[in-house]
Amino acid sequence: MSKHVAIMGATGAVGNEFLRILEQRKFPLASLKLLASARSAGKTLKFRGEDLKVEELTEKSFKGIDLVLGSAGGSIARKFNPVAVAAGAVVVCNTSAFRQDPQVPLVVPEVNPEDIAWHKGIIANPNCSTIIMNVPIWPLHKVNPIRRLVVSTYQSVSGAGAQAMAELEQQCRDWSAGKAITKSVMQHQALFNVFSHTSAVADNGYNEEEIKMVNETRKIFHCPDIRVTATCVRVPVLRAHTESINIEFTNPMTEAQVTQVLSKAPGVRIVDDRRKNYFPMPIEAADGDDVLVGRIRQDVTLDGRGIDLFVSGDQIRKGAALNAVQIAERL
User: How far, rounded to the nearest angstrom, does the alpha carbon of residue 66 sit from its chain's CA centroid?
Assistant: 23
Q: Which of 4, 119, 197, 241 is catalytic?
A: 241
Q: Which of 4, 93, 128, 141 is catalytic?
A: 128
Q: Which residues contact 181 (CB under 8 A, 6 or more apart)?
A: 171, 174, 175, 189, 191
Residue 241 is a catalytic residue: yes
Query: Which class for 62: exposed (0-12), middle (13-18), buried (19 or more C-beta within 10 A)?
Result: buried
d(CA 181, CA 192): 11
The three-class DSSP label of residue 94 is coil
Residue 188 is a catalytic residue: no
- Residue pair 148/301 in contact (Cβ under 8 Å)? The answer is no
Between vectors from CA 115 to CA 111 and to CA 121, what angle results, nearest 5°? 130
The three-class DSSP label of residue 309 is strand
d(CA 103, CA 271): 38
- The b-or-e profile of 287-318 (16+ CB within 10 A means b, else e) is ebbbbbbbbbebbeebeebbbbbbbbbbbbbb
Q: Which residues participate in catalysis according to the annotation?
A: 128, 241
